[in-house]
Structure 1
Amino acid sequence: MLQKTNAATLAELDHHDHPESHSVFGFWVYLMTDCVLFAALFATFGVLGHQFAGGPTGKDLFDIPGVALETAVLLLSSITYGFAMLGAHQRKNGMVLGWLAVTFVLGASFLVLELREFSHLIAEGAGPQRSAFLSSFFTLVATHGLHVFFGLVWMLVMMIQVVRARQLGEQEIRRLTCLSLFWHFLDVVWICVFSFVYLGSVL
């Protein structure tokens, strides 16, 4: 009886020393707030997307093959991040680092392509101040791009943590899981941008 009591006491102390983490649930809550943000931006574009003020329309400006390339690069980065998570669950630091590096390069390439598109539009006189259509377009797409940028910074931090860790623990895997949720969420948002903003403006 005494042994059982001691075992129960030790288990309770261990539970208090290592409380169950709620970070993944909290991150889901954060993603829901981000959903509200992007929903508001999509709604704004839906209202202002036909206010051209005598300026160019999406059909005049958007290079669909170029945007399709951006889309393919970002979707591919989601797949490579999935391989990184497989390595994380197998506790293979090298595999995680390798796939995170590939994902980082793809994400950075997406941003370069997006910045090149913005530069081209502004050079043609189609900057965000030209019309309500372009203001809502730049705001929505740039907000997504900013999220990608912060995701890349987060990815660099995680790569440093993986290098420092001799073996991946539950804490590192939990952080990688949160980043995975964030990265896949950005893919879903971009698919909506590609379909609703680009294709919807051209068709």
Structure 2
Amino acid sequence: MSTITVPVVAHELEQPWHLPNKGKVGMICLIIGESAIFAMFVLAYLFYIGKSQWGPQPREVLEIPIISSICLLSSSLTIWLSEQAVEHGQIQKFNAWLGATIALGLIFLGYTGAEWYKLIYHDGLTLQTNLFGTTFYSLVGLHASHVIIGLIMLITLWLFGMTGHITAKNSERIQTLALYWHFVDAVWVVVFLVVYVIGR
């Protein structure tokens, strides 16, 4: 009884390997570093909960920011829809969904500004008031600064889209930028739980 051997060509088994996208690798590294910074601020906030000896306490002055949170978390969906649109070459839809993302981010910042105004001018809570004020403004301010940076990048991208400089070829770069915005939204979930649920 003889056996038949089938020659196997090496290149048929090998899958072509491509270098990972440099932009995505860079963004992932940035997100890892930023996550470490946020973790330190979150741990500091948790450590100092209830240790303020004077001044307003969280339960006395903080209101749960439901509308602003819905707006920010919804922006993850709209930026994902903009990613899908540009990938399929639908630039008008891309501009519309990206514009919606920017609007939702601006609404979130508006609510944050209104909250800070109330806390500072009506409730007398500043960075120097007590440990709660110091940790609150540090953590929430760190997040707000990331939202501002993200919005600057998104507005710049939207202007490129509106002036016809965006095509389907740019989809991978846009996905890289969207990673940052998804990170900002994910961090807000943690900040919301720590500040407005656990810390209240």
Q: Provide TM-score, normalisation by structure 2.
A: 0.85
Report SS of the residue matched to 2:199: helix
Separation in structure 2 between the aligned mates of residue 169 and residue 81 of structure 1, nearest angstrom: 15
Separation in structure 2 between the aligned mates of residue 20 and residue 74 of structure 1, nearest angstrom: 30
Paired positions, count: 181
Q: Which runs of 5+ in 1 are unaligned?
A: 1-18
Look at both structures and tell me which one has the larger radius of gyration over its CA atoms. 2
Per-residue CA distance 1:163-203 (angstroms, 9 max, x = gap): 34466143x2222112211111111110111111111122x
Separation in structure 2 between the aligned mates of residue 166 and residue 140 of structure 1, nearest angstrom: 37
| Cα gap change, 1:54 to 1:166, in 2 (>3 Å) | closer
Q: Provide TM-score, normalisation by structure 1.
A: 0.84
Q: Which runs of 5+ in 2 are unaligned?
A: 1-18
Mapping of residues 46-85 of structure 1, within 5 Å: 46-64=46-64, 67-85=65-83
Q: Verify the 8 A CA contact 2:78 2:101 in the aligned structure 1.
A: yes
2:102 pairs with 1:108: no
Mapping of residues 4-153 of structure 1, within 5 Å: 21-64=21-64, 67-123=65-121, 124-153=123-152
Per-residue CA distance 1:125-157 (angstroms, 9 max, x = gap): 111210011101100001100100111110011
Separation in structure 2 between the aligned mates of residue 167 and residue 35 of structure 1, nearest angstrom: 30
Q: Quick one: percent identity of the two aligned structures?
A: 25
Q: Select between 50-59 and 81-90 the one with higher mean Cα deviation.
A: 50-59
Give the structure with the larger helix fraction: 1
Q: Which residue of 1 aligns with 2:199?
A: 201
Q: Select between 99-108 and 161-170 the one with higher mean Cα deviation.
A: 161-170
| Cα gap change, 1:57 to 1:85, in 2 (>3 Å) | same
Per-residue CA distance 1:92-128 (angstroms, 9 max, x = gap): 1101000011110110000000010001000121112
Counterpart of 2:68, as a letter, is E
Aligned CA-pair RMSD: 1.5
Counterpart of 2:189, as a letter, is I
| Cα gap change, 1:125 to 1:84, in 2 (>3 Å) | same
Q: Which residue of 2 aligns with 1:11?
A: none
Q: Verify the 8 A CA contact 2:86 2:168 in the aligned structure 1.
A: no
Mapping of residues 174-189 of structure 1, within 5 Å: 174-189=172-187
* Pairwise CA distance, 1:62: 0.8
